[in-house]
Structure 1
Amino acid sequence: MTNTVDALSAQATQLPPAERLEVVERILDSLDQPDAALDTLWANEANDRLAAYRRGEIKAVALSDVIAKYQATAPR
């Protein structure tokens, strides 16, 4: 880590929990920027999957089945 990161981290840990959370939220928000190229890739993927479904190449799975699968494997 750089000296700046170390200093900011040390300062942040001295803040009350609510203010630390605000700092974290602001940092995460700054990372959540739109990416047109990524959006295009996801749109193409979704269109490809829908086309494969319509051609009968893949089947749909009930949402309840997906949730049950991941709940069963989630760490507790």
Structure 2
Amino acid sequence: MASDINSLTDMEKLYLVDVILRDLDRPDPEIDSIWADEARKRWNAYKSGKIQSVSYRDVMSKYKR
């Protein structure tokens, strides 16, 4: 299989990568449900004052070094 891929043009390789990524990126209802529950919990905690938000600027300054 690797030798077949090596014989492809760059555009054909990009197409192949795109097809593979689209196949792997299918929605998973169980994971979507888990994330939705987590988002609701975080939003409720934020609204009730149990957690605080961090500004975009603070987050970006932490990782821009």
Q: Which category describes the TM-score, using the shorter chain as reference length?
A: 0.7 to 0.9
Where do 4+ consecutive residues of structure 1 move more than 6 Å? Answer: none
Alpha-carbon deviation of 1:68? 2.2
Counterpart check, 1:68 vs 2:54: no
Alpha-carbon deviation of 1:59? 0.7
Unaligned runs of 5+ in 1: 1-7
Higher relative contact order (CA 8 A, sep 6+): 2
1-structure distance, mates of 2:20, 2:44: 38
Task: Pick from 27, 30, 51 the counterpart of residue 23 of structure 2.
Answer: 30
1-structure distance, mates of 2:44, 2:58: 22
Counterpart check, 1:51 vs 2:44: yes
Alpha-carbon deviation of 1:63? 1.2
Unaligned runs of 5+ in 2: none
So what's the TM-score if we normalise by structure 2?
0.88
2-structure distance, mates of 1:69, 1:19: 39
**What is the total number of aligned residue pairs between the two structures?**
65
2-structure distance, mates of 1:29, 1:9: 20
Task: Pick from 3, 25, 40 the counterpart of residue 10 of structure 1.
Answer: 3
